[in-house]
Structure 1
């Protein structure tokens, strides 16, 4: 495993675009801390976002993992460019000539995906812990380390997303087209979701449940379901909703079923990548 990771690290280290994108990605993860600096002073109204409870334990794990997942597209570019470069610079063929099997080649990419996801998760954990210790109103150990399942969901989400990108990179061989393929698949899922809503329109209020029950098994939708939006969970948002006669009823927990679905897709993408590479005459 370490040998395979060392090979991939060597390739990334000598690729300027990958280095820059990786630095930008982790810089953006760190920029979550800048949210604490957002202040609005409009006459007598003073608004400080950090004081609204977004960095309170354990909510900070939910909020930061959701926000950090938005930046995953930068690392996706690194993943797909890794595969594009293998074909462009003939390093894939050279690796196979040097004795690396196709299985080991795919594993080297998958281990890199896991490593990127793990480093990202540890990074988000560190940023969230620091922000929580500074701004949280709750500092009891039991509260601080509760709801850490959002970090697990974040890790699984990244591995799933990057595995999908790895598969597209092998399938299409060009980084720009691979990213475009991801966008096209997102559009396909969105169109299918719209079709389901139209198909179940006669059910009125039950239509959403029917649609969600079907859509949860599609890859990108399953990844999106791992960490649900955290904004409506804020006390301030709930207070406003209550004042206008609305009640926010939503399950924000990390579902074991959603994790299982994404793990299934990870296995599909990695196996499909291997099967595709094994079938090709390089």
Structure 2
């Protein structure tokens, strides 16, 4: 495993674009801390975002993992480019000639996916823990370490998404077209979701029951939007006669769906590579 990881690390670190994207990704994750500095002082109106409770335990686990998930496209570009470069530079063929099996090749890519996901998760966990200890009104140990299922959901979501990127990269072999396909696939899912609403009606639960098995949709379902949990948002909603009764729980079956997709993406990547004439 270490040998495979070392091979991938050398390839990534020799690529200038990959280094820039990796550094940029973690800089953006760190920028979450800058949210605490957002203040608006307009006459009698004084607004400090950190005082709205976004960094309170355990809410911070939900908020930060949701926000950090938007930055995963940076690593997605790296993974897709990593696979595309193997074909364009013909290093995949050379690796196979040098004795690396196709199974080991896929394993090395998946190990990279796991590493990116794990490092990103640890980084978000540590950042959230530090911000929470600084700004949270609740610092009891039992409260700090409650709702950590959002961290698990974050890890699972990223492994699933990066595995999808790996599969698309092997399938299409061109980074620009592979990234374009990811966007197109997302559009296809939304169109399909709209068709389901049209067929079954807006009040039916069937569209959501079916759409939860879509790849992107299943990953998105792991971490629901956290903003409607804020007391300030609820207060505004109550004033206009609205109430939020959303389920923010990370369910085991939602995690299972993404895990199954992950296994399928890696398996399909291996089968595709095994049958392809390089």
Q: TM-score, normalised by structure 2?
A: 0.99
SS at the partner of 2:221?
Answer: helix
CA deviation profile, 1:29-66 (whole Å, cap 9, x unmatched): 11101111110001011000000000000000000000
1:185 maps to 185
By how many angstroms is 1:231 displaced?
0.3
Instruction: Mark the runs of 5 or more structure 1 residues left unpaired by the alignment.
Output: none
**Paired residue for 1:147?**
147
CA distance in 1, matches of 2:69, 2:251: 17
Give 1:243 shift: 1.5
Offset, 1:239: 1.1
Distance 2:150 2:225 in 1: 12
Q: How far, CA to CA, are the matches of 1:80 and 1:49 in structure 2?
A: 36
Tell me by how many angstroms 1:182 deviates.
0.5
Shift of 1:226: 0.3
- 1:56-205 alignment runs, 5 A limit: 56-201=56-201, 204-205=202-203
Deviations 1:124-177 (A, max 9, x none): 001101110111000000000111110100000000000000000000001111
Q: Give me the whole-angstrom Cα distance separating, in 1, the residues matched to 2:269 and 2:194.
A: 30
3-state SS of the aligned residue for 2:247? coil
* Cα distance in 1 for residues equivalent to 2:198 and 2:42: 45
Q: Which runs of 4+ in 1 moved over 4 A?
A: none
Name the SS of the counterpart of 2:47 in structure 1: strand
Deviation at 1:211, TM superposition (A): 1.0
Q: Which residue of 1 aligns with 2:15?
A: 15
- Of 202, 211, 234, the residue aligned with 1:215 is 211
Counterpart position of 1:235: 231
Matched, 1:247 2:243: yes
Unmatched 5+ stretches in structure 2: none
Distance (Å, rounded) in 1 between the aligned partners of 2:207 and 2:233: 26
Counterpart position of 1:226: 222
- CA-to-partner distance for each residue in 1:7-35, whole Å, 9 max, x for gaps? 10010010000110111111111110111
SS in 2 for 1:71: helix
Are residue 31 (structure 1) and residue 31 (structure 2) matched? yes
Distance 2:61 2:272 in 1: 38
Cα RMSD, aligned residues only? 0.7
Instruction: Return the alpha-carbon distance in structure 2 between the equivalents of residues 191 and 243 of structure 1.
Output: 34
